[in-house]
Amino acid sequence: MATPADRDTILDLTQRLLVSITRGDWDTYKELCCLSLTCFEPEAMGNLVDGLEFHQYYFNLPSGPTPVQSTIVAPHIRIMGEVAVIAYVRLTQKIADGKPTTVAMEETRVWHKQGGKWKHVHFHRSPAK
């Protein structure tokens, strides 16, 4: 039976993952993800991406001088034994064309406990309507 502590763990790991993305912290992102992570996301143009190489490209880009902040809104967490699913809307605040801008994305992320450690194994991101 999943406990509130299990849910807190999944929320914390997801928050860490998003912070690693906004900070361009590849080491943390890689540590949290399974090497065979799969995903659908707008950057993949309708294709299922398999593995980390596609994601590393974005971490290798020069980081901008402007702050970026992600907020997880109304997360729903379901834990099924060694598998957990978290779904939420992610608000990303950034500066675009010199103005503060917010982008909303619907995200579903799947975590799998492997060798006692939760690893991110699949996600789906799409623009919130």
Cross-sheet strand order for the sheet of 117-127 = 49-50, 33-40, 117-127, 99-114, 83-96, 69-80
**Between 16 and 125, whose beta carbon lies closer to ligand GLY?**
125
**Between 2 and 52, whose beta carbon lies closer to ligand GLY?**
52
**Between 1 and 40, whose beta carbon lies closer to ligand GLY?**
40
Report, in Å, the least distance between residue 17 CB and ligand GLY.
6
Q: Which residues are at the interface with ligand GLY (CB under 6 A)?
A: 21, 41, 55, 123, 125
Nearest 5°: CA angle at 41, between 15 and 4? 30
Report, in Å, the least distance between residue 3 CB and ligand GLY.
26
Chain residue whose CB lies nearest ligand GLY:
55
Signed CA dihedral, 114, 88, 50, 102: sign only: negative
